[in-house]
Structure 1
Amino acid sequence: MTLHTLPKRAPRLRAPLTRHFTTTPRTASYADTLPNLKIGAHTRVLFQGFTGRQATANVKESLEWGTKIVGGVKPGVEGEHLGLPVFPSVKVLANEHQAQERAKPDASAIYVPGNQTAKAIEEAIEAEIPLVVAVAEHVPIHDILRIHSMLQTQSKTRLVGANCPGIISAIGKCRIGFQPLPCFAPGNVGIVAKSGTLSYETVASTTRAGLGQSLCISMGGDVLAGTNFVDALNLFENDPDTRGIILVGEIGGTAEMDAAEWIKDYRRRTVDPKPIMALVGGLEAPPGRIMGHAGAWAAPGEPDAQTKYQALERAGAVMVNHPEKFGEGMKTLFANQSSRPGTNQISGTSSQKRGFHTMRRITPISRPTGGHKRSLYIKQFQAFDILKQKSVPVNETASSSDSSISVSITVDRTALSPCIIASSTSESNPAQSQKFPFPYTQTKFQSSTIAAVASHLGLPASSHKQLAGFVQALWEIYKEKESFTLETQIAMSAGGTLEVYGAHFGFDDAAFRSSGRQEDIHKLWDTSEEVAEEVEAEKDGIVYVKLEGEGSIGTLVNGAGLAMNTVDALTIHGGHCANFLDTGGKATSETVKASFRVICSDTRVKAVFVNIFGGLTRCDMIAEGIILAFRDLNMKVPVVVRLRGTNEELGQKMIAESGLPLHAFDGFEEAAKKVIALAKDQ
């Protein structure tokens, strides 16, 4: 079968993104729940999953710190735990006057596994609890899509998370989540972040600078966030406790671009705007990879990390390349602000320094994407088989032409719903693409939606019916098989039929791993064709990505965001990283040892850089793991260890007294320069 060209059409350029931020009264909506984020000493916190091990430890810490916890829920059980009431269900709190009088929760902390998280959130929404904080990882994407379809129809409950450390008021001593309390101090800097470990680094930096924090909000690392950057910025703008704002982003989605638009608008309409600083992790992340966090990947047409960085910088945010620079940087901005009493803020960036970079800037390396790699995408022939089961015309011998188009279904992270992405080219070029969000609960597409997609693609009216059938089939696959993205390239056959000649299908790993669903899809992953080290590392709960090129520095980091930033910052210093490695936010001495094993299996590695922020992870435990690895693995390569956070002095002392070729630092730049020099000397 041969293909001939689709109808010729003029290039269609997408209009620039324009957003208007207004305080004009409107109908009640999810946006009205924004004030619920302003937690403090008054906030009465309920725990769902109250009697579990993690929740119990967290409750003890939070109570001691000053958080007002009023009890918890354990299905079917009523009694006491830690001297606090246990309720049999959240529904009891909503329906029984007596229970409401006893508990009256303002917020619920959800401490249940990922496969139970959506059900727990749903119960809290039905009970109209004002704030719900979900901390679990591995919540299936389609579970959260269903939750967001509920959230958008109500105006009582606000969600933070999932897959996040939570929200914490340092001023009000209210912690709803698992943030490391020793890092925090009451102050006036508002922080919103995607990454947990990067946010802890940021908090510690502002604490060391004597600034402290007002409110710290985590977006979380999932695809769909209950509270995003713009939500937090809107709150911080009018918060009298917040004098300066810090935003920590990373690859995946468009939240940083939305934040940049907000910042531009804010600086235009405000006489004396609060200083805003930012960081974007993943400048060196290889394209097409999922970098530790479930949401750290780019859908068709989404911007890369460098584009986000530049957008925030142009908007007026002061950019840094490492979180330890935030504290002194914000102190400088406060001093500059105080030294110009009575002066009006000039729009744009002229009143703020452009960035706090004390090192040379290097254009991110374009890394090749060939070869084996751990991926959640199935092979094209497998995607074709799935399309054929839905009677979608497929041409496996065709190739791209100038008139090919692209139609995808993926997640719109801003609209918090699925969407069609239509591109008038075979690739999802942002300039040629348009999003068409639709409700998750939708079963059939409206003819007006199909007409709008066809119009953007330049398709004739005669093809609308076929396009509708094709899009409907894609949506059914997306929902039935719990996909996160279905990308297709299409052309028209000689008989005038739309045919798929290219397909890139990705499916949600969490649906199987946490909930046991989609086993047939999960079996399509052939580990024999993946990078052996990456597969082996996953068995130990480690996320390892082998980077292409001349990488001579192995990296070992706790936390996905911090791991991305570590690779970025070492590259900016002139280093060449061999890998991305995230031990997880709760690294142990055993996972550190396993990490060294996989890092040193790469013969390119001449030196290892360990970058640990001991928030939940104790630095002395990491030091023990490093010492054990040296002794048990007979390691020959030098190791530079940068330890900050909990028990950092003890950890550094253990390394210094070990008698092993280890180099301990607390500052990032000194440590980075040392490991780069060692790698060059080997």
Structure 2
Amino acid sequence: MRTTTFPHVASQLLRARRQTSHFHRFSTLSKVLSYADTLPNLKIGEHTKVLYQGFTALTPQLLGRQATANAQESIKWGTKIVGGVKPGVEGEHLGLPIFPSVRVAKEKSNPDASAIYVPGDQTAKAIEEAIEAEIPLVVAVAEHVPVHDMLRIHSMLRTQSKTRLVGANCPGIISAVGKCRIGFQPLPCFSPGRIGIVAKSGTLSYETVASTTRAGLGQSLCISMGGDVLAGTTFVDALNVFENDADTDGIIVIGEIGGTAEMDAADWIKDYCKRTTNPKPIMALVGGLEAPAGRVMGHAGAWVAPGEPSAKAKYEALQKAGATLASHPEKLGSGMRTLLEKTGRLSNVSTHAKLVSQRRGFHTFRRIKTLETKPTLHRFLHIKQHQAFIMLEGLNIQAETRTSSPEDFYLSITIDRTSRSPCITVSSATESSEPSLRVPFNYIDPEFSQNANNAIQSQILSFLKREAIYQDALGDYIRKLYTIFTTNEAFALETRASFSKQRGVVAHEAKFGFDDAAYRSSGRQERVHKLRDLKAEVSEEVKAEESGIVYVKLDGEGSIGTLVNGAGLAMNTVDALILKGGKPANFLDTGGKATSLTVRNCFSILCADPRVKTIFVNIFGGLTRCDMIAQGIIEAFQELDMKVPVVVRLRGTNEEKGQKMIADSGLSLHAFDSFEEAADKAISLVKEASIRLDE
């Protein structure tokens, strides 16, 4: 009996996803306005008036201080901030007005955009208030926003044509040309230029920005899709903007595992290259090529659902579509420069950017931390089958285990990332090559929740070639599954079932997954959270989680322990090491916090793995200065009396100073600027250790 995946449900899950790939290119011919008509709102610049929701001292106060510092930093850079919102309060902060509500702020300052700096459990409410006030652009940077909160928000966004959302769980959006930052991007990396960048991963996007700055290209507009399951703005949305943007001459797409956004982007690129004379060059990178199946790789959305394409499939699709793929972000700057030369667009770069490829290290810039509370990891909780059966039986659904039969069918309620809504997926339990039926539906649908829509029931029965006499039983089954989905905040309810004339629909297999953020950030679903069995999980991973570290132990004979800040960069580090012949032992994301204590905890976990012969630290110090990171590494190395050699690759703010501190420490630490050189060194140290063991 299979208990881990449902391949028949997954067989053709992608067939319905392309419905939104090419729907809008700023056309004025459409008579019916929709969310797609908000795309122009992404073109921010010096004209953009920005409102802060939460830039004064809120609860917890740390968030208010961080947002205040972020606002000061952005104002100094050139962003036009018109004030902030503190519910029920009027006053002044940073010399700017405080409004009691977004609606009042709209009436008095008419902002073009709102930056939401509130905790994850308050984010949906803040977005909703901005939508109701018809703020043109809303940017939500918070992590750990419950999935069902965002399902509700997207059901609202679909019904209007005034507000565009970026995020949640993203660095934000920034115009280097227009000096407008809405988010927490590291400003020292940016320079005005001609490259448009859209990314899922924050750290990979920072590396990409730094690479294009070093190459003298600079950036025009950088849009973050974010790492959550439900993104307010997608790759295709950004590509539509870049195509029509006079400031953009080259485009870079940064993707990773999870969802189908990269496949949609590939479809768009293929179509764009066909219909355009001398198209703008496009480069891409996909993180997670070597990610283990079935694991959440740091980001809330960095996991592959049944039927979704692998990272390798995305890589190949983008490449076939006409994009030039890179293995590491530091190669994107030079690669794009070459493509611009070939297309005759390089001369435009001089409009804004200067060649800075020889500069080693960015100037020091006062840095605030990202929005942090207690260490929490957004992950998904799967319960055991007998626990799922108890939930089904609690709603009078018959459940009994049996081996698969040709009469069985797979029926699941999951989240469709393309339509940004829940959906029903159905397939036969016979041949895996048979197609599946995928039916997205509105999250807020009273008719469906009360009694599963008759049209959907008829469609499913027709697809399964079953008699109409089962329509009521099927409707009852779907309605009760959806009750479990909504009341327990599930992200996937997968079942194998059969029809019975006497008992209706009987479930024979169930795999239920729930959104852990609903409990971690909002205190909801404690009962479901308590079903988690820590003893059944990898002990090192549980220990890492307690320190706010995302650690995934990789199978095989891994000999290089990796320590990276940022999930996307951590995935790419593993990919790039394997491509060079290295054997990583793990995926490790420090969670953006490379302090001495965090590094020490990471080193302890890595050194506990007897396979590890060397440790490769790959840190991009955009949000934290490289000299501070170097100091943390040195202190942790000394405190633990490390015997394993450590290779440290530092890039970003104060990188030269950090590298010099490592080199002058007198410890078994090896400092590098180049990823290629650092990776080669780590692999060579493993080979040297193996030779010594053989001798």
TM-score higher than 0.5: yes
Alignment partner of 2:645 out of 638, 644, 649: 638
Aligned partners of 2:499 and 2:128: how far apart in 1? 45
In 2 relative to 1, CA 518–326 (structure 1 residues): closer, same or farther, beyond 3 Å?
A: same
Aligned partners of 1:593 and 1:426: how far apart in 2? 52
Alignment of 1:405 onto 2:405 = no
Which residue does 2:52 correspond to in 1?
Answer: 47
Deviation at 1:594, TM superposition (A): 0.9
* Aligned residue type for 2:648: V
Aligned partners of 1:441 and 1:412: how far apart in 2? 15
What is the correspondence of 1:58-137 to structure 2 with a 5 Å cutoff?
Answer: 58-94=70-106, 96=107, 100=108, 103-137=109-143
Alignment partner of 1:538 out of 528, 533, 545: 545
Alignment partner of 2:490 out of 483, 507, 525: 483
Instruction: Single out whichever of 13-22 and 453-462 deviates more from structure 2.
Output: 13-22
Aligned partners of 2:213 and 2:261: how far apart in 1? 26
* Aligned residue type for 1:617: T
Aligned partners of 2:237 and 2:297: how far apart in 1? 25
Aligned partners of 2:22 and 2:285: how far apart in 1? 24
Which residue does 2:681 correspond to in 1?
Answer: 674
Which residue does 1:611 correspond to in 2?
Answer: 618
Which residue does 1:594 correspond to in 2?
Answer: 601
* Aligned residue type for 1:169: S
Alignment partner of 1:438 out of 423, 428, 441: 441
Instruction: Single out whichever of 445-454 and 555-564 deviates more from structure 2.
Output: 445-454
For the residue of structure 2 that corresponds to 1:628, the secondary structure is helix
Q: Percent identity?
A: 68
Which residue does 2:385 correspond to in 1?
Answer: 380
Which residue does 1:199 correspond to in 2?
Answer: 205
Gaps of 5+ in 2: 1-10, 57-63, 348-378, 690-695
Deviation at 1:494, TM superposition (A): 9.1
In 2 relative to 1, CA 79–375 (structure 1 residues): closer, same or farther, beyond 3 Å?
A: closer
* Aligned residue type for 1:141: V
Which residue does 2:367 correspond to in 1?
Answer: none
Aligned partners of 1:402 and 1:280: how far apart in 2? 39
For the residue of structure 1 that corresponds to 2:87, the secondary structure is coil
Deviations 1:309-353 (A, max 9, x none): 111111111111111111011111111112999xxxxxxxxxxxx
Could you tell me whether the CA contact under 8 Å between 2:398 and 2:503 is conserved in 1? no
Aligned partners of 1:558 and 1:387: how far apart in 2? 41
Count of aligned residue pairs for this structure pair: 632
Deviation at 1:15, TM superposition (A): 5.9
For the residue of structure 1 that corresponds to 2:486, the secondary structure is helix
How does the TM-score come out when normalised to structure 1?
0.90
Alignment partner of 2:635 out of 628, 632, 641: 628
Aligned partners of 1:294 and 1:39: how far apart in 2? 27
Could you tell me whether the CA contact under 8 Å between 1:145 and 1:416 is conserved in 2? yes
Deviations 1:6-44 (A, max 9, x none): xxxxx9998685755464423011111100000000001
Deviations 1:577-601 (A, max 9, x none): 1111100123322111111111111
Could you tell me whether the CA contact under 8 Å between 1:619 and 1:650 is conserved in 2? yes
Alignment partner of 1:664 out of 671, 680, 690: 671
Aligned partners of 1:555 and 1:14: how far apart in 2? 33
Which residue does 2:587 correspond to in 1?
Answer: 580
In 2 relative to 1, CA 510–335 (structure 1 residues): closer, same or farther, beyond 3 Å?
A: same
* Aligned residue type for 2:560: I
Deviations 1:388-442 (A, max 9, x none): 111112112x122455321111111110111111122379x68622320000001
Could you tell me whether the CA contact under 8 Å between 1:588 and 1:617 is conserved in 2? no
Could you tell me whether the CA contact under 8 Å between 2:409 and 2:497 is conserved in 1? yes
For the residue of structure 2 that corresponds to 1:501, the secondary structure is strand
Aligned partners of 2:182 and 2:594: how far apart in 1? 22
* Aligned residue type for 1:121: I
* Aligned residue type for 2:118: V
Which residue does 1:144 correspond to in 2?
Answer: 150
Alignment partner of 1:333 out of 332, 339, 350: 339
Aligned partners of 1:438 and 1:311: how far apart in 2? 28
Aligned partners of 2:246 and 2:593: how far apart in 1? 35
In 2 relative to 1, CA 454–557 (structure 1 residues): closer, same or farther, beyond 3 Å?
A: same
* Aligned residue type for 1:550: E
Which residue does 1:571 correspond to in 2?
Answer: 578
Alignment of 1:177 onto 2:183 = yes
Alignment of 1:316 onto 2:322 = yes
How does the TM-score come out when normalised to structure 2?
0.88
In 2 relative to 1, CA 128–538 (structure 1 residues): closer, same or farther, beyond 3 Å?
A: same
Deviations 1:86-117 (A, max 9, x none): 111112224x5xxx2xx221111000000000
Could you tell me whether the CA contact under 8 Å between 1:302 and 1:430 is conserved in 2? no
Deviations 1:345-400 (A, max 9, x none): xxxxxxxxxxxxxxxxxxxxxxxxxxxxx96211111111111111112112x122
Which residue does 2:366 correspond to in 1?
Answer: none
For the residue of structure 2 that corresponds to 1:590, the secondary structure is helix
* Aligned residue type for 1:669: E
Which residue does 2:250 correspond to in 1?
Answer: 244
Deviation at 1:301, TM superposition (A): 1.6
* Aligned residue type for 1:274: K
Deviations 1:461-489 (A, max 9, x none): 22222222111111110000000111112
Alignment of 1:390 onto 2:405 = no
Which residue does 1:417 correspond to in 2?
Answer: 421
Q: Which has the higher contact order (CA 8 A, sep 6+)?
A: 2
Could you tell me whether the CA contact under 8 Å between 1:249 and 1:280 is conserved in 2? yes
Deviations 1:113-142 (A, max 9, x none): 000000111111111111000000000000
Instruction: Single out whichever of 449-458 and 312-321 deviates more from structure 2.
Output: 449-458
Could you tell me whether the CA contact under 8 Å between 2:14 and 2:308 is conserved in 1? no
Could you tell me whether the CA contact under 8 Å between 2:474 and 2:504 is conserved in 1? no
Aligned partners of 2:610 and 2:231: how far apart in 1? 39
Gaps of 5+ in 1: 1-10, 342-373
* Aligned residue type for 1:675: A
Alignment partner of 2:238 out of 225, 232, 237: 232
In 2 relative to 1, CA 401–69 (structure 1 residues): closer, same or farther, beyond 3 Å?
A: same
For the residue of structure 2 that corresponds to 1:376, the secondary structure is strand
Give the alignment's Cα RMSD to 1 decimal. Answer: 2.0
Could you tell me whether the CA contact under 8 Å between 1:406 and 1:423 is conserved in 2? yes
Which residue does 2:38 correspond to in 1?
Answer: 33
For the residue of structure 2 that corresponds to 1:59, the secondary structure is helix
What is the correspondence of 1:541-560 to structure 2 with a 5 Å cutoff?
Answer: 541-560=548-567
For the residue of structure 2 that corresponds to 1:677, the secondary structure is helix
Aligned partners of 2:466 and 2:572: how far apart in 1? 44
Could you tell me whether the CA contact under 8 Å between 1:586 and 1:616 is conserved in 2? no
For the residue of structure 1 that corresponds to 2:636, the secondary structure is helix
